[in-house]
Chains A and B, each alone.
Chain A
Amino acid sequence: MSAALEVEDLLFAYGPRRVLDRVSLAIQKGEMIGVLGPNGSGKTTLLKILSGVLAARGAVRLAGRPIEAYSRNELSRIIAVVPQESEIHFPFTAAEIVLMARASHHERLALEGAADLDAARRSMAATDTESLADRWVHELSGGEKQRVMIARALAQEAEILLMDEPAAFLDLKHQLGVFDLMRRLNRERKLTVVAALHDLNLAALFFPRLVLLENGRIHRDGAPEEVLTEDTIRQVYGVEVRVERPEPQRRPHIFIRP
């Protein structure tokens, strides 16, 4: 069986700068993958190519078919994206933003039906955003807004969830909440999750497979204990750290040496 989402020999450059350089990656259905790497290593670009909004040299296949062969409408029902930042130029309530996820699910001249409202309610409950439903999105805090965006992605009811630093603006509690949610969606709804992450320790705790990018290339791809070692972190981030594997999970944990 072909992988859920697969890229082969990706090349992407902004002018002379190669952002992705011969990247190949096969994402199996139901996998949960954390993409790591320093700023500018190509994480965001990789996610944009995976979601089909950026075109690159090389092949991107969704369920074995080239991604260009899908219409935007079809894609949006298979892949949902939580972007790093969201533009809000006009006043919309959180509920309206979440319901926009349903645009590809109903007739474009129709208003949202019961199924759409239901999907929106469920995803807002899952992200602890029900109480924000009637508030203006541009008046929410960074963390609240981020959770609304996650709710929107869930309301798409897609099979693959791409997240670009989903916990970036969140406090400790909501950070854990988002990681926990990703794991629950992955286990209970069999959602394939690919997330660009910055927090190496949280990534190691929650993600069974990590991909470490360095200057647009895959430096290491595997289980957390293979990817997060003192050597790889020195090579990729240029930082000396101590890695331990505390009980009970025995996942690598990084200690910074000041």
Chain B
Amino acid sequence: MKVLDRKKMIAVNGALLALLAASLLACALIGPVAIDLKRALADFFSPDAEILFRARLPRVLLGAAIGGGMAACGVVLQAMLRNPLACPQMLGVSGGASLGGILGMIFFPHWLLPLAGGLLGEVSWVPLAAFLGALLSMGLVYRLALFHGRLHPYHLLLTGVIFNSFVAALIMFLNSIVDFYQAQGLLFWLMGNLSTRAYPTVAFIAAYIAAGFLWLWSHGLRFNLITLGEEAALQLGVEVASVERQAFVATSLMIGAMVSVSGMIGFVGLMVPHVMRLLVGSDHRLLLPASFLAGAIFLCWADTLARVLLAPAELPVGIVTAFFGGPFFIYLLYREGRRLPV
């Protein structure tokens, strides 16, 4: 009888963690401008250090955090909605965040937020506008999908998808009434990118994602039971309604925060959970951390490709995730697909 044990947990997570550390370092060193790690570490004021610590490192860290967060949210949404097609882009909050960000960019494009009273500089307020949009849409979707005190998976899925289509229409409308130059900027933001951020933003997002992820992970065992359906989960001792409500709020807050800084980076949240399920199994106590680490590694490399493929120009990272992730996923499905329940 093969079961999940401590040895497998440590081996899988340890290997992925080592791979992530190597990826973070490699991706920070790769770029259109070659840098020398020794020189960067020896002299903090060298151009090498400037590029490594101010331009590349925050971006690589942000990519890892968002890749991990998206993958973890994807795992939980697929379990909770009992739907292998569920992904973070389906929850409604992503649409709300996009709309909030777009409105911020159109109407107050020059607003800046002082960090720590201006001591740490200023950042664009667009992420904050997007996060407010995410919060509002989360409240709205939650309210609309709530029937008799509980979030029904189908209601939640339908409400989220329809809300997102509606918001997409609003965004297209806004995009068609602004001038050409502005429309180009909106489109680039919408396609998702991880352009360099200030460390405080990265730290804020990373803390958010870490807290959300730890909460989700602590419920890993319950998500196993929830995949068996509401009745089975209830009979095996899970307070399904309460876990689902909390998981909705946790994933929504995480997705809202992520979309706010990086736009809609698709595919990570859909694909990574499936790949990891095929590789490490469906037990969420292992699947969640493994998907988090794999998502972090994947987005790290995808963003590096986005930076170097057309250097000095940059591709939106969403294009890279879909372009390389899609065929790999199809290949894996073709080879291992018989293991999936129909």
Chain A residues with CB under 8 Å of chain B are: 48, 51-53, 71-73, 75-77, 79-81, 83, 86-93, 95-97, 99-101, 103-104, 108-109, 111-112, 117, 120-121, 124, 130, 133-134, 136, 138, 156
Q: A92-B282, A96-B282 are in contact. Are A101 and B4 (CB under 8 A)?
A: no
Interface presence of B122 (CB below 8 A)? no
Check A79–B339 contact: CB distance below 8 A: no
Contact of A103 among B6, B9, B79, B221 (CB under 8 A): B221
Check B1–A89 contact: CB distance below 8 A: no
Interface presence of B333 (CB below 8 A)? no
A residues near B234, Cβ cutoff 8 Å: 52-53, 72
Contact of A111 among B5, B229, B236 (CB under 8 A): B5
Show 19 residue pairs from A and B whose CB-CB distance is below 8 angstroms, ordered by the A residue.
A53-B234, A72-B234, A72-B238, A75-B237, A76-B236, A87-B227, A90-B79, A90-B282, A90-B341, A91-B282, A92-B227, A96-B4, A96-B281, A96-B282, A103-B222, A104-B236, A109-B218, A124-B1, A136-B341
Q: A111-B9, A117-B1 are in contact. Are A103 and B237 (CB under 8 A)?
A: yes
Interface of B is mostly: loop
Check A134–B6 contact: CB distance below 8 A: no
**0 or 1 for each of B203-223: is its CB under 8 Å from A? (1 = yes):** 000000000000000110110
In the bound assembly, the distance between CA atoms of A88 and B227 in angstroms comes to 7
Chain B residues with CB under 8 Å of chain A are: 1-6, 9, 78-79, 82-84, 218-219, 221-222, 224-225, 227-232, 234-239, 277-278, 281-283, 285, 339-342
B residues near A136, Cβ cutoff 8 Å: 339, 341
The 8 A-B pairs with the shortest beta carbon distances in the complex, nearest first, are A76-B237, A104-B237, A138-B341, A87-B229, A90-B282, A133-B1, A73-B237, A81-B235
Check A96–B341 contact: CB distance below 8 A: no
Q: A87-B82, A100-B224 are in contact. Are A71 and B5 (CB under 8 A)?
A: no
Check A95–B285 contact: CB distance below 8 A: no
A residues near B232, Cβ cutoff 8 Å: 83, 86-87
In the bound assembly, the distance between CA atoms of A88 and B341 in angstroms comes to 7
A residues near B78, Cβ cutoff 8 Å: 90
A223 smallest CB distance to B (angstroms): 30
User: A92-B281, A96-B4, A108-B219 known; 18 other A-B pairs, CB under 8 Å?
Assistant: A48-B231, A53-B231, A71-B239, A72-B234, A73-B237, A76-B237, A81-B235, A83-B232, A86-B228, A90-B282, A93-B281, A95-B3, A96-B281, A103-B221, A117-B3, A124-B1, A130-B1, A156-B236
B residues near A88, Cβ cutoff 8 Å: 228, 341
B residues near A97, Cβ cutoff 8 Å: 228
Cβ-closest chain A residue relative to B228: A87
